[in-house]
Each structure stands twice: as C-alpha cells, then as structure tokens.
Amino acid sequence: MKQKILVTGSSGTIGTRLCEKLLDAGYDVIGVDYQPNKWSSRVKDISLQINLLNKEEILNKIPKDVDFVIHLAANARVYDLVVDTSKAFDNFKSLYNILEFARLNNVKKFMFASSREVYGNSERLVYKEDEAHVKNCESPYTASKVGGEALVHSYQQCYGVNFIIVRFSNVYGMYDESDRVVPLFVRLCKQGKDLTVFGKEKLLDFTYIDDAVVGVMLCIEKFDTAKNEVYNLAFGEGTSILKVAEMIKDSLGTQNNINVTERRTGEVIRYVADISKAREKLGYNPTVPFVDGLNKSLEWYNR
C-alpha cells in the first residue's frame, strides 16, 4: 500500500507540482497551506487550509496517520526577509510546529526543504553538501534554513524522526507568478518595463520545476537507504542573472532596457551545486538545461 504523505506549502510552486506527481503515482496525499490552491483543482481538493504558525490547529486538524512529512512551506523571498525579519522567525516556528506534529504522532520520515543560501558567499563557485556553515549566513532567510537544518537533526537524535534535507536552488517553471527572477523578468518584459539586475557578476544554478520534483520523488522512494543526509537538488550548471534577462528579452522579442546595479544586502553572488552525492545515492539525473526550461516556462506563461 502506498504511503500517506503530508505536504506543507501545497499551494506553492514546488508544492503544487509535487502533489500532482504524487497523486499520479498513487500516493495518498494531504496538502496543507494557508491559502487554497489556485492552479490545480486536484491539489485544492486534497488540501487543508491551516495556519502553520498555530501548533494547536496543526495537531487538531491534520490526520494523525501520516507516514511521511514533506515540509516545503516557507517565506522564501530572501530580500523580503532582510526587510521584515519576523518572516524568518515564522519559518523557524512553522518548522518547529510540524516537527512537533511528527514527534507526537510517531512519524519517522521527514523531509525538509532547505536552500542553496546556506552556503553563503566565498571564493568557491561549486559547493558540496559539507561546505555550509553558520558563519556564512548572509541573511535572516539563510539563518532560518541553517537553524532549521539544525532543528531537524536534533529531532532525529532525540526522538528518532529520520530525515532527508534537500537544498533547492532557484527552482523555476510552471505555477510560479511570484517576484522570483524568471517570472518577474517575463512580466516586466511583457509590460515594456526596465529589467534590473542586482549584481553584474551574479551567477546561480537554475533548476527546472520537474527536475526538482523528480529529486523529491527519489528521496521518498529511496528514503530507507538515503535517510539522515543532506542533498543538493539543482541542475549543476550556472547561469548569470544578466544572461537570464537577455534570454527572456530575446525569447519574447521585446526591447526592454536592462539596468545593472549593485547586489542587494543578504544575497548570494555565485553558486553552482555539486550534485554528485544526489546522483550516487538517489539516482538523481536532472534533464532540463536552462534554455529548455525557459522555453517550457514561457509556454506556460503564454498559456
């Protein structure tokens, strides 16, 4: 019998696509989010509207017979948390509350969505999983993920809640109408407005949504042999933000100005994931390079 899986953040970009794929694979899925899903009626129908900052609401409203928890929910816009630090505390509190749900209901399989932000800025370009450190926290958002990883480890040590931590990197694609760089630049191009690149040298590892979701599915399937470890889930190649702006502009055939300014406080400048550990232990093999993923994304935005 397929496992019953709880997915927090089920109305978000990754959460929506993951829930769809889990349902397709025959899993019993419960989604949790503070707002209803606006993209998928299937996901909306299996989701509960719950405030993850309210522990009692979580404990009283979520079914207790869950086999596996996937905690995606977070305030995930790095600079927003520089401006409003309380959102970083909310990330930590929601994680604590959902870990308590797992502990009190004897759930022994837990996945936490962390971020490439935990690596911070250094002379390095390519990062392995053991190269994150608390001293590299560039922002309150980063701190919420570094501290979150520590809390997840502690629940394994103290209460036997086994885990997998995945560090995502700039996931993009369908179901994303946020102010992340790809949907933002697409929207600005269509509106005829200028594009702003914060840092000419900024280069990041963009991961197409389906590659990210496949990685999560592999974690579920191989949990028993891959547990209590951290994995980078990304494509494994870097693309500059300036190049992203130029590619989107060229693909849409617009003539927007591109303004390059200084990087913003708290943001990582250069990051490419070393995904060799995920390849070896999970069989993870991302297949969508940025040029193809961008075309797929533009098809969705033009739907």
pLDDT in tens, the chain (303 residues): 689 999 999 999 999 999 999 999 999 999 999 999 999 999 999 999 999 999 999 999 999 999 999 999 999 888 898 999 999 999 999 999 999 999 999 999 999 999 999 998 887 899 999 999 898 888 999 999 999 999 999 999 999 999 999 999 999 999 998 889 999 999 999 999 999 999 888 999 999 999 999 999 999 999 999 999 999 999 999 999 999 999 999 999 999 999 999 888 888 889 999 999 999 999 999 999 999 999 999 999 998
In a domain, 197, yes or no: no
In a domain, 121, yes or no: yes
Query: What's the rounded Cα separation, in Å, for the pair 222 and 279?
Result: 12
In a domain, 241, yes or no: no
CATH classification at residue 36: 3.40.50.720
How many distinct structural domains can be found in the chain? 1
Please give the pLDDT value at position 267: 81
In a domain, 54, yes or no: yes
Measured on CA atoms in the order 276, 278, 283, 288, is the torsion positive or negative?
Answer: negative
Q: Would you state the structure tokens that stand for residue 57, as one six-digit string?
A: 């609401």
Q: Would you state the structure tokens that stand for residue 267, as one six-digit string?
A: 């943001």
SS (H, E, C) the chain: CCCEEEEECCCCHHHHHHHHHHHHCCCEEEEEECCCCCCCHHHHHCEEECCCCCHHHHHHHCCCCCCEEEECCCCCCHHHHHHCCHHHHHHHHHHHHHHHHHHHCCCCEEEEEEEHHHHCCCCCCEECHHHCCHHHCCCHHHHHHHHHHHHHHHHHHHHCCEEEEEEECCEECCCCCCCCHHHHHHHHHHHCCCEEEECCCCEECCEEHHHHHHHHHHHHHCHHHHCCEEEEECCCCCEEHHHHHHHHHHHHCCCCCEEEECCCCCCCCECEECCHHHHHHHCCCCCCCHHHHHHHHHHHHCC
Largest CA distance in the chain: 57
Please give the pLDDT value at position 1: 66
Query: What's the rounded Cα separation, in Å, for the pair 47 and 50?
Result: 9
Please give the pLDDT value at position 176: 94
Query: What's the rounded Cα separation, in Å, for the pair 30 and 4?
Result: 8
Please give the pLDDT value at position 122: 84
Please give the pLDDT value at position 230: 99
In a domain, 291, yes or no: no
What is the domain range of residue 217? Answer: 4-172+208-234+274-286
